Amino acid sequence: MKRKLIFGERIMYVDAQTPLNAVFTVTLRGAVSPYHLRAALFKMQQKHPLLRARIEEDARGTPFFVTSDVVGEIPVQVLERRSGEDWETVSRLEWEKPFDKKYGPLARVVWLRSGEMSDLLLVCAHCICDGTSFVTLMRELLFLLDRPEENMTGYLSFGSVRELLAGNTPAEGRIRWKGIFWAAVARLFLGLRTARPAAGPASPYLLHWKIDADHSSAFTNRCKAMNTTVHAALAVAFLEAFGHVLGERAKGKLLCPADIRRFLPEVRKDMLFAFAPIIDLYLDKEPGLDFWTRAVRLKETLSSKMAALNVDDMLLTSEYLHGSMKAMIRFLRTTRGTHDFTFSNMGRLDIPPDYRFFSVDAIHSPSVAFPWRNANTLVVSSFNGRMDFMLLSDERCLPFVDACRIKEKAMERLTAYADANRDSYRA
């Protein structure tokens, strides 16, 4: 395989020097075999071409994924596990530890090992996987770790964007002119932006917490009863919390990456893929609206925007924007933007809790330290009935003390509605 990174991958690549790594951690109780762990990673590499890839830039600096015999096996670093919080410290270190993109591979594992407990940290360059891909990799890793006799069936990576569209491609001429138009708009917009110096050290951090199964279930049921979704209710809760803590500095807007696999039949759920277009969502500030009305309206807005996505056009026209890529990345790294945070809700994780030789004690939502000027990111997932939250940023963008206040305010709202739902059920 040798193919150019598509638009979404190219953004997450940033450049050859900048690490943009995502970390996904699972806590296991029971026996983990070093031999079986390495064998599992080898089988996963044989299945997924991007786990056998390195990144090569041509003379113009355009990056390509290249599979090669030069790429070695996914490395495993073994460290002593001294506490249940060690994985947070190691995650922060792994964010800033660059991959050798020129020689690969673009994934690694850190194993925090103690007597009965283990933390496995799966670290990937963000340009090879999104959240759905991450869950796939973790599910496969645990499956093969527990059943070393099993194998994986490989697949061929796509060679171009058009191969993703199953032959239902729009007219070439229309796409070409549309792409040229948006490329010109991008050049004009970015050219008018005042150049700013790169920001100094960011001091990235993570703020992680879970809520118990009772509150998680009660809040989910309350959302259903109020004709909205957990996603929309969480979005409103945190937008309101940002507004409460930041006051006039809050924007009342979030960015939500969209999983577009449903529109791309050529991309199976178990394939690695890293293009998630962004949908912007606003907090409805109409006077007199209560929380649930805002959540219902936000749900409706998201559904409307998802339905309006023209994924074929988006994928094809975005390829005309590569010429402005360096300017776009410079813009992201130097401008705060017009949003409060990026919100990724991974929902219920499709990972079994019990295996023959071990059990899953906990799964912690993926973390990432974006090198952008606005690094605020909220990742939420659910496993074994418990909701898990990861609020990520840096001291330059959002001081940690403010992040703690935002968490507390949002959780006040969430637990209050969960308790109200439980009380009404008991009554």
Domain spans, the chain:
2-146, 161-353+371-426
Torsion of CA 374, 414, 220, 239, to 10 degrees: -30
Tokens coding 298: 């936000």
CA distance 41 to 159: 24
**What pLDDT, on a 0 to 100 scale, did the predictor assign at position 298?**
98
CA distance 26 to 110: 11
CA distance 16 to 61: 10
Q: Which residue has the tokens 């590499």?
A: 45
Per-residue pLDDT of the chain (427 residues; tens, 9 = 90+): 899 999 999 999 999 999 999 999 999 999 999 999 999 999 999 999 999 999 999 988 899 999 988 899 999 999 999 999 999 999 999 999 999 988 889 999 999 999 899 999 999 999 999 999 999 999 999 999 999 999 999 999 888 888 887 666 655 666 666 667 656 766 776 666 655 655 555 799 999 999 999 999 999 999 999 999 999 999 999 999 999 999 999 999 999 999 999 888 888 889 999 999 999 999 999 999 999 999 999 999 999 999 999 888 888 888 888 888 888 899 899 998 999 999 999 999 999 999 999 999 999 999 999 999 999 999 999 999 999 999 999 999 999 999 999 999 999 999 998 777 655 545 4
- 2-146 is classed CATH 3.30.559.10: yes
Q: Which residue has the tokens 């979704």?
A: 229
CA distance 138 to 142: 6
**What pLDDT, on a 0 to 100 scale, did the predictor assign at position 278?**
94
In sequence order, the β-bridge partners of residue 24 are 122
Tokens coding 426: 């008991």
Helices within 266-399 (DSSP H only):
291-308, 311-318, 325-334
**What pLDDT, on a 0 to 100 scale, did the predictor assign at position 324?**
86
Q: Which amino acid is at 72?
A: G
Q: Considering only CA atoms, which of 290, 283, 292, 279 is closest in space to residue 251?
A: 283
**What pLDDT, on a 0 to 100 scale, did the predictor assign at position 165?**
79
Tokens coding 402: 């403010």
- For 161-353+371-426, CATH gives 3.30.559.30
What does the angle CA 53 – CA 56 – CA 57 come to, to the nearest 5 degrees?
155
**What pLDDT, on a 0 to 100 scale, did the predictor assign at position 65?**
95
In sequence order, the β-bridge partners of residue 390 are 208, 379
**What pLDDT, on a 0 to 100 scale, did the predictor assign at position 425?**
47
CA distance 371 to 96: 10
CA distance 64 to 127: 11
CA distance 316 to 162: 7
Helix, strand, coil shares, percent, the chain, to 5: 45, 25, 35
Q: Find out whether the peptide bond into 287 is cis, omega within 30 degrees of 0.
A: no
**What pLDDT, on a 0 to 100 scale, did the predictor assign at position 427?**
44
In sequence order, the β-bridge partners of residue 211 are 387
Q: Considering only CA atoms, which of 311, 115, 345 is closest in space to residue 230?
A: 345
